[in-house]
Structure 1
Amino acid sequence: MKKILVFGGTRFFGKKLVELLISEGHEVTIATRGQTRHSFGEKVNHVIVDRTNRDGLASTFAKGDWDIIYDNICYSPNDALAACEIFEGKTKKYVFTSTMSTYVNLGADLTENEFDPYNYEIRYGNVDDFSYGEGKRQAEAVFFQKAKFPVVAVRFPIVLGEDDYTRRLHVHIENVAEEKVISFLNVDARMSYILSDDASGFLRFAGFSSIAGPYNATSSGTYSLKELMEMVEKNVGKKAKIALIGNDETRSPFAVPKDWYMSQGKSIDAGFECQPLERWLPKLIEKLSQ
């Protein structure tokens, strides 16, 4: 049994991670702001803390140590530095949820060395000082340059699942069903995705294995946005009203100008392979269309 701290963990793949850890019999503590109710009951310890408040974080975790810490809610270098300092000597492993958005240059089969956090210039600041992608780049840079404990940065693409509270896939299905316009920048562009079950599974793997450093966690295979919309059309039974460019109101969450997907070769070599996209995405679209 391991002693595990999870920042976040009440929604989507973070919740699935906690459920997985509980099922394995580990002692799990979740740390949240307390704004989202959790369904774990007495199976977890629950600490209410503001992840962005350094003093509060330091006070809350002044005592205790952990085998693994999972951080799903770090978005800035200041918050990363706080973790490096507060948890020094208190954890054997730190797993940071990062993103495909660390890759500034869009492209195909992007590998981990497309972004080097070990030599990236650190600029300290809070979440509002950076774009989402730059905030994650800066956080990675801090973790890998300042932490005294082993760190894994898990770079996720778009995470999909029935329980996706952001409803990024749902909106495509709903717009087709309601005959609303949805706009793209390039319908031939291909993107990376991962199923929420695989996302939680990879986080578990990252914590319990000996790996360290940045890792892409993504399904193999790709669909163009045109192919994705054709699957939606087939299941909904209506033709999509697709526009190019569009505006903020009509633009798809998947609107990218060119291919943007990652390689999972390094992760496979380490011992974890996500389900191929073709195995789960068509089924998920079918399920959400019902």
Structure 2
Amino acid sequence: MKVLFIGGTGLISEAVSKLAVAQGIELYLFNRGERDEFVPEGAQVIRGDIRDAAGAAEALKGLEFDAVVNWIAFTPEHVQNDIQLFSGKTKQYIFISSASAYQKPQRSYLITEETPLNNPYWEYSRNKIACEELLLEKHRSGSFPVTIVRPSHTYGITAIPAALTSGKHPWSLVERIRKGQPIVIHGDGTSLWTMTHNTDFAKGFTGLLGNPEAIGEAVHITSDESLNWNQIYAAIGGAAGREPKVVHISTDFIAAHTPAGTADGLIGDQAVSSVFDNSKIKRLVPEFSATVPFAEGIKQSVDWFEAHPERCSVDGEWSKMLDTLISRHGVDAKLLSYYV
């Protein structure tokens, strides 16, 4: 099977690329070469930028694939370009959507693929929904063979996954925990959440490649393990070797006292309990099973960072923001207790 990944070296996709090659898939990666250390041996790399439509068409000229996966499509314009580029040149186009597109807050804590798509809180999610609608419309017209995959909070060895954290410097959270500095958990920390290791995601995903039963379908791929946020941060502390010093702060307060956009993903996704029914992916890919518990996965991440000290950078601005947030929350709590 001949497959093209647009991207293929990111947080989620690098694990899928590695497994695809191991399974004997003839894998091509089309990207700009910014994370070449995660290109698996055996994959063929085509240099280019998918945002340059003309350049991408030239770089991929004459090539056809059994499946094309775009790991970095985020807007309807992105997928419209792909429709023009790959129509008639692939038997399957897989769009990477997001489980954050599901209704927020949903009517039931248990999410299935039948859960409505509606997220008024996060533009990222609304754009993913618009992409899905465009692609399914093309599929229904008979002109484009699409499969939609919705990851939830997926991580790997290069990530320290959490809610209110530094995206560019994930080690910052471990650094604060080890120094005994307080960290913030939204709400009371008892809402449920699902963390999925990228190697588990990969096992479900590769089973969809070239799978005729997956054409025209949308499916999420997540772990079956559900933890509350207190348990998640306790596991991070366990991997870091120190119990976290925790301050619980309401999501609304966090949003009101952090820079614009900081809490968008929190409000639009992580603040709502999310537990997934994985019956559909298990039906489409019977061999799929998520086997990496979060306590084990986060330990692998901490070990990886410690083996790569150059990646243990600390985000001073983020840490300062957290200190300011905690300070303001403390002042407000004192005032409230005074007036009560």
Give CA-to-partner distance per residue, 1:64-110, whole Å, 9 cap, x none. Answer: 21011111111110111111122111101112211111114134111
Query: Is 1:232 paired with 2:247?
Result: no
* CA distance in 2 between partners of 1:57 and 1:3 (Å): 18
Asked if the contact 1:94–1:207 (Cα under 8 Å) also holds between the matched residues in 2, the reply is: no
Contact 1:93–1:150, Cα closer than 8 Å, also in 2: yes
Quick check: 1:68–1:207 contact (8 Å CA) kept in 2? yes
Query: Could you tell me which residue of structure 1 aligns to residue 332 of structure 2?
Result: none
- Alpha-carbon spacing, 1:284–1:96, altered in 2? closer, same or farther (3 Å): same
Aligned to 2:336: none
Which residue in the other structure is 2:72 paired with? 73
Q: Report the AA paired with residue 25 of structure 1.
A: G
RMSD over equivalenced CA pairs, Å: 3.0
Spell out, residue by residue over 1:42-79, the C-alpha distance to the aligned partner (whole angstroms, 9 max, x if none): 73322222222323233333322101111111111011
Determine if contact 1:168/1:253 at 8 Å carries over to the other structure. Answer: no
- 1:254-273 map, 5 Å: 256-272=270-286, 273=288
In the other structure, the counterpart of 1:175 is 176
**1:152 partnered with 2:168:** no
1:5 CA displacement: 0.7
Unaligned ranges ≥5, structure 1: 118-129
- Which residue of structure 1 aligns with residue 313 of structure 2? none
Please tell me the residue identity of whatever aligns with 1:43. G
Contact 1:170-1:288 within 8 A present in 2 as well: no
Relative distance call for 1:237 and 1:106 in structure 2 (3 A) is: same
| Contact 2:192/2:275 (<8 A) preserved | yes
What aligned pairs does 1:119-134 form with structure 2 within 5 A after superposition?
A: 131-134=123-126
User: C-alpha deviations, 1:137-156, integer Å up to 9, x for none?
Assistant: 11111211124232211111
Could you tell me how far 1:31 is from its partner in structure 2? 0.5
Change (3 A) 1:253 1:226: farther
Q: Could you tell me which residue of structure 2 aligns to residue 218 of structure 1?
A: 222
Structure 1 residue aligned with 2:196: 194
Contact map agreement 1:179 1:241 (CA 8 A) in 2: no
Tell me what 2:98 maps to. Answer: 99
What is the Cα deviation at residue 181 of structure 1? 2.5
Q: Deviations over 1:98-130 (max 9, x none)?
A: 11111141341111122369xxxxxxxxxxxx9
**What CA distance in whole angstroms lies between the structure 2 residues aligned with 1:22 and 1:286?**
26
Aligned counterpart, 1:122? none
* Worse-matched range after superposition: 230-239 or 24-33: 230-239
Report if the CA contact (8 A) 2:4-2:28 is conserved: yes
| Equivalent position SS for 2:132 | helix
What are the ranges of 5 or more consecutive residues in structure 2 without an aligned counterpart? 161-166, 304-340
**Is the 8 Å Cα contact of residues 101 and 128 (structure 2) preserved in structure 1?**
yes
SS of 2:74's partner is coil
Q: What are the equivalent positions in structure 2 for 1:80-95 lying under 5 Å apart?
A: 80-95=79-94
State the partner residue of 2:52.
53
Offset, 1:284: 2.3
Change (3 A) 1:253 1:168: farther
Match of 1:137 among 129, 143, 149: 129
**Which is greater in Rg?**
2
CA distance 1:253–1:204, shift in 2 (3 Å): same
Distance, in Å, in 2 between the alignment partners of 1:161 and 1:200 is: 11
Asked if the contact 1:182–1:252 (Cα under 8 Å) also holds between the matched residues in 2, the reply is no
Q: Which has the higher helix share?
A: 2
1:283 alignment partner in structure 2: 296
- Alignment partner, residue 310 of structure 2: none
Match for residue 125 of structure 1? none
Amino acid at match of 1:69: V
1:120 match:
none
Distance in 2, matches of 1:167 and 1:174, equals 14
Aligned residue pairs, count: 275
Comparing 158-167 with 60-69, greater Cα deviation is found at 158-167
Give the distance between the partners of 1:229 and 1:79, measured in 2 at CA. Answer: 36
Which ranges of 4 or more aligned residues in structure 1 deviate by more than 6 Å?
249-255
Structure 1 residue 253, shift from structure 2 partner: 7.4
Q: Does the 8 Å contact 2:16/2:205 carry over to 1?
A: yes
Equivalent residue letter for 1:260: S
Provide closer, same or farther for how the CA distance between residues 175 and 53 of structure 1 changes in structure 2, counting only shifts above 3 A: same
TM value normalised by structure 2: 0.71
| SS of equivalent residue, structure 1 residue 198 | helix
More moved, 91-100 vs 145-154: 145-154
Letter paired with 1:89 = G
| SS of equivalent to 1:113 | coil
